[in-house]
Amino acid sequence: MTGGPRLVLRERRPQGTQVRLAPGLAVGGPAFVVMAGPCAVEDAAQIRDAAGAVAAGGCPVLRGGAFKPRTSPYSFQGLGAEGVRLLLEAADAHGLAAVTEVLEAGDLPALEGVALLQVGARNMQNFALLKALGRLRRPVLLKRGPAATVEEWLLAAEYLLDGGNDQVILCERGVRSFEPSTRNTLDLSAVVMAKQRTHLPVIVDPSHATGRRELVVPLSLAAAAAGADGLLVEVHPRPAQALSDGAQALLPATSRL
């Protein structure tokens, strides 16, 4: 027996896996699913305005971090359980599903009602967290680590399936490279390889991949052309006042940028 991926492999389920987020809403099916919203839930008005814009744009899933993994301990850390409550309230008002990050298993009780649990890039190899989520029967969005190989990413997903949870969506969000003009470098070849090697849906986050608003729409189109099943995109009603990632946030009603 080798230690390589097994349960995630395409030959295990050639028709592909559909991850069901809500009645009539699945990722990995025929629909291209766009998840959008601010980096972090900041206050009631901000997430309410964002939800309105996301719904008006036809996106079925609202994003917004409540438990935030920040590089600096001095940066805004998120509103925690109160942020989740505000996110769900704003999503419910428009019939949207919600996606937010789970930083540690202990946060799970506060994440009741969240349709999709995001494992952030920095936590991709937090094996204790992956094992805890593998024991759940709730959809998980697994971001690729900024320095993880495709094999390591697939093996992280393998932890979830090995635990019994096959409701897993992979998300490419850029890898660290030598190029300083973008926050990360979007690796679209990894998207194609993950689609070919596994039966799991794959989405792309062009916001964290680039860090630059003007690159988000072109790379979203490139992701769709590469065969992605959807997108995770940051949108903020007032990006200049954002507490995190304002420079990469699309503005509401921005159809071209």
In the complex, which residues of this chain contact ligand PEP (CB under 6 A)? 39, 65, 69, 101, 120-122, 143, 173, 205, 208
Contact flag: residue 168 with Mn ion (CB under 5 A): no
State the CB neighbour count (10 A cutoff) for residue 241.
10
Contact flag: residue 216 with Mn ion (CB under 5 A): no
- In this structure, the chain runs to a length of 257
State the CB neighbour count (10 A cutoff) for residue 240.
9
The Cα–Cα gap between 180 and 200 comes to 31
Nearest distance, CB of residue 205 and ligand PEP, angstroms: 6
The Cα–Cα gap between 124 and 107 comes to 17
Residue 134's binding partner, choosing from Mn ion, ligand PEP, none, with beta-carbon cut-off 5 to 8 A by kind?
Answer: none
Cβ neighbourhood burial of 139 (10 Å; 0-12, 13-18, 19+): buried
Q: CB under 5 A: which stretch of 24-32, 38-46, 95-103, 132-140 binds Mn ion? A: 38-46
Nearest distance, CB of residue 214 and ligand PEP, angstroms: 19
Nearest distance, CB of residue 40 and ligand PEP, angstroms: 7
The residue whose Cβ lies closest to Mn ion is 39
The residue whose Cβ lies closest to ligand PEP is 120
- Shorter beta-carbon distance to ligand PEP: residue 7 or 141: 141
Residue 120's binding partner, choosing from Mn ion, ligand PEP, none, with beta-carbon cut-off 5 to 8 A by kind?
Answer: ligand PEP
The Cα–Cα gap between 50 and 58 comes to 13
Q: Is 143 helix (H, G, I), strand (E, B) or coil?
A: strand
Which run of H or E residues covers position 84? helix 81-93
> Residue from 170, 245, 249, 250 that binds Mn ion (CB under 5 A)?
245
> Residue from 19, 35, 39, 161 that binds Mn ion (CB under 5 A)?
39
- Cα dist. 10→89, 130, 223 in Å? 37, 21, 20
Amino acid at 212: R
Helices 81-93 and 44-56 cross at an angle (nearest 10°) of 40
Residue 166's binding partner, choosing from ligand PEP, Mn ion, none, with beta-carbon cut-off 5 to 8 A by kind?
Answer: none
- Shorter beta-carbon distance to ligand PEP: residue 17 or 77: 77
* Residues at the interface with Mn ion (CB under 5 A): 39, 245
